[in-house]
């Protein structure tokens, strides 16, 4: 498949963003903030791949909707094992070089608000 197997042919500017994926384990709708974390099964790593050139030419979200550009895992840590999400950091490395670091506590919307 080669080293660029995840970059669609229509782009030459494949970029990445490390993200915390929140794994929902219990269905719900209009969940009150106080009960939001009851619906969280756990957490895992997510690579939010973006085609920057396609995004600029078409739309902000268009560059994020291609096959193989959203990698997840390979493990899930259950919420009871993970501890307090606000204490977590997301670190993205490329070939062992740290490219990005961010605190979950710095999210614009915290996890209960997103749920």
Q: What pLDDT score does 1 carry?
A: 39
Nearest by Cα to 94 from 2, 15, 20, 22? 15
Task: Map out the domains of the chain as residue ranges.
Answer: 14-104
Give me the percent of the chain exceeding a pLDDT of 90: 57
Q: CA 6 to CA 40: how far, in whole Å? A: 29
| Ranges of the chain whose pLDDT falls below 50 | 1-2, 4
Fold (topology level) of 14-104: Fumarylacetoacetate hydrolase; domain 2 (3.90.850)
Q: What pLDDT score does 66 carry?
A: 75
Residues comprising the chain, all counted: 115
Q: What pLDDT score does 2 carry?
A: 45
């Amino acid at each position: 498949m080669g080293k660029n197997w995840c970059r669609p042919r229509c782009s030459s500017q494949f970029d990445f963003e490390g993200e915390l994926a929140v794994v929902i384990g219990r269905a719900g709708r209009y969940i009150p903030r106080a009960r939001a974390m009851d619906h969280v099964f756990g957490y895992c790593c997510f690579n939010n791949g973006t085609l920057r050139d396609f995004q600029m030419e078409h739309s902000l979200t268009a560059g994020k909707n291609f096959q193989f550009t959203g990698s997840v895992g390979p493990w899930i840590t259950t919420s009871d094992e993970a501890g307090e999400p606000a204490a977590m950091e997301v670190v993205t490395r490329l070939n062992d070089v740290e490219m990005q670091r961010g605190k979950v506590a710095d999210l614009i919307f915290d996890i209960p608000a997103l749920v």
